[in-house]
Amino acid sequence: MGNLNVAAVGTLGYAKDLGKKGTVSDITIYDLKKGHDTVSILEPSKYPERINSLYFCVNLSEIALVVVDEINAALGETLLMLDCANVKRGIFILRNYLTPDRIAPLLKDTVLTNYTYMADDPIILREFLLEEAAKVQNSGEGKGVVPIDHHFNVKGVGTVILGYVAKGVINRHDNLKVLPTERTALVRSIQKHDHTFFDRGLPVLDQVQSAAQFGYDLHVRVVGEHETTVEVLRIEVL
């Protein structure tokens, strides 16, 4: 079961032809799935108005998809962000008759020099991303780390946090620290790409899974002390 997060940057709206639209805020998430392999494509929907939209999008991803329609200040800022975040794997889609030699000076001495170029073909691109997702190996070892992307509170249920497992594995009933604070959050259920592993202790899949490993894009229901909601911020980490 492979999981891959992709930052679709450069041209807003390109990802709508690649996956099913999901969560929308300052980041829009599109989901692509084949069998047990999943790809989450993240677009910075508030960029260039809000730089943090691009920042969170890039830092949540393992691969960049850079669609270039023109060479401008926003493109330069995007390339700089990818280099600073050390996103070493990526794809360039060049449009409007742009050629690799036109953007080469912008890539000099950055990790982006290793990016590949692909044709502007959503079908081929979808297959490529799914193949890359299938190569991801989930070890299921080590303490889990979940950067918080979104969250909302549900009365009588707790706090639902949207994020992905950046490292290790998390399990149902884990008591997680909310860093950098002293607060804690108890995991009550885990959901990945609309497949609930546990809901209030009741399995709803034929093959029950109780953990989320590295790369999983997920919803996790947590509670604080006395079965209450948990106060969290997007910049925090479980």
The domain spans of the chain are 3-135, 148-227
Predicted TM-score of the model (pTM) = 0.75
Is 50 exceeded by the pLDDT of residue 78? yes
Reported as a single tens digit per residue, the pLDDT across 93-127 is 999 999 999 999 999 999 999 999 999 999 999 99
**Residue 222: closest CA among 159, 144, 136, 152:** 159
Across residues 2-28, what is the average pLDDT?
88
Select from 3.40.50.1950, 3.30.300.180, 3.40.50.1010, 2.40.30.10 the CATH code of 148-227: 2.40.30.10
Domains 3-135 and 148-227 share a fold: no
Coil vs helix vs strand at 127: helix
Q: How many CA atoms lie within 13 A of 15 on its CB side?
A: 29
175: tokens are 């008591």
Average pLDDT, rounded, for the chain: 82
Identify whether the C-beta of residue 25 lies closer than 8 Å to the C-beta of residue 59.
Answer: no
Give the per-residue pLDDT at 162: 76
Cα–Cα distance measured from residue 5 to residue 173, given in angstroms and rounded to the nearest whole number? 26
For residue 205, name the pLDDT band (cuts at 50, 70, 90).
very low
pLDDT digits (tens, 9 = 90+) for 128-166: 999 998 887 665 567 777 777 777 777 777 777 777 777
| Cα–Cα nearest to 149, from 10, 36, 18, 40 | 40
Q: How far is CA 6 from the centre of its chain?
A: 6
Using alpha carbons, select from 179, 195, 114, 94 the residue that is nearest to residue 145. Answer: 179
CATH number of the structural domain 3-135: 3.40.50.300
